[in-house]
Amino acid sequence: MLPLISLLLHGYVAARLLPALAAAPAVCAILSILLLISLWHMPMGIGLRYRFRQRRKPAGVTAWLAWTAMGLFSSLLVLTLLRDALLLAALVVDAIRPGTLPPGAWDVRSAWVVVSLALFVTAWGFVAARRTARVVRVDVPIAGLPVALAGFRIVQLSDLHAGPTIRRDYLQRIVAAANRLDADMVALTGDLVDGGVPDLAPHVAPLAGLHSRHGTFFVTGNHEYYSGAHDWIAEFRRLGMRVLLNEYAVLTHAALGSAAARIVIAGVTDFSAGKYDPAHRSDPARAIAGAPADAAVRVLLAHQPRSAPAAAAAGFDLQISGHTHGGQFLPWKWFVRLQQPFVAGLDRLQDMWVYTSRGTGYWGPPNRFGAPSEITLLRLVPA
């Protein structure tokens, strides 16, 4: 079914653009080749995340072609649809008032605009995706925050997606940048991998070098379940991470000259984990059950923002999430809200704050356009 859908969509783009560009045969030839590459690799690219864990050799050039072509075609498809909508509007206006907006006058120009914009988005997005994620600093106001916890620093890394195109050197740069932030703790909020442990363990190994006062905490994302979650949980524990599976940890923290205070760090399995392992059904209430009542702050690590309603009901003060990538590149950022209550940044749900990271890596196409990747430094401050 997927190859047929891909064929129809690629055929639509070719039929709508190539005739309008016929006066430039070289451009038509290049565009045709790009569409053929995309048509060939696009189904392969989608399947790579499932097959990659079974391969001992990196996907290499095939993966780069597959994912880059997917990003380029995505932009071409959306822009072609937009172009056709505008040309249809011009037809309607011309039918009502002939000569006002003759559609033929815009046919060639609009085709050039579509191709130019798609190439620009792909090129710019590639550079943005491959550079080291920027640091985003966010203050989270907490009512009644003890002096000992004022300024408590949480570094969040999310959605690294180590896999066919994100390898060891990429993670080494992220770890080095995170360590420079001198965090009190590190939160890894899921989707760290796109492949199995035998393939990716050497590339994920730099995460063992993360440094913070209270250590590194990890919760599963949906991609861990695509890639063998139980094996990865064991591997992450071997790397020194505290894996939170619907459970909590209590940290005792003291600032200079103040009495110590306790903060609860809880974590849930991915929102969809129960589909892959019923024992991993995500449960924020279970994650905090039995936590000390005198804890000053209760923080939940949850991969998907969709965990927020249950987390707010369970009494958390802050939920830290990822998953959305902020849409990763236009226009998909405008569609994320169809699935998730929050897209990116700091939001409020009842008495709980929700921070949603745009992600530290990228999934699939090496493209970050309009949704830059981030290393997040969250700081608790008095309200």
CATH number at residue 181: 3.60.21.10
The yes-or-no verdict on residue 357 having pLDDT over 60 is yes
Residues 120 and 141 both lie in one domain: no
Residues 299 and 163 both lie in one domain: yes
pTM for the predicted model, two decimal places:
0.89
pLDDT of residue 98: 81
pLDDT of residue 54: 41
Domain final residue pick, 111, 130, 149: 130
Burial of 293 (C-beta count, 10 Å sphere; 0-12/13-18/19+): exposed
The mean pLDDT value for 177-193 works out to 97
Q: What is the span of the domain harbouring residue 377? A: 134-382
pLDDT in tens, 7-23: 899 999 999 999 999 99
Tokens 């360590």 correspond to 179
Residues 165 and 304 both lie in one domain: yes
SS3 201: helix
The count of structural domains within the chain is: 2
Residues 28 and 177 both lie in one domain: no
pLDDT of residue 355: 98
Integer Cα distance of 124 and 112 in angstroms: 18
The yes-or-no verdict on residue 300 having pLDDT over 80 is yes
Residues 157 and 58 both lie in one domain: no
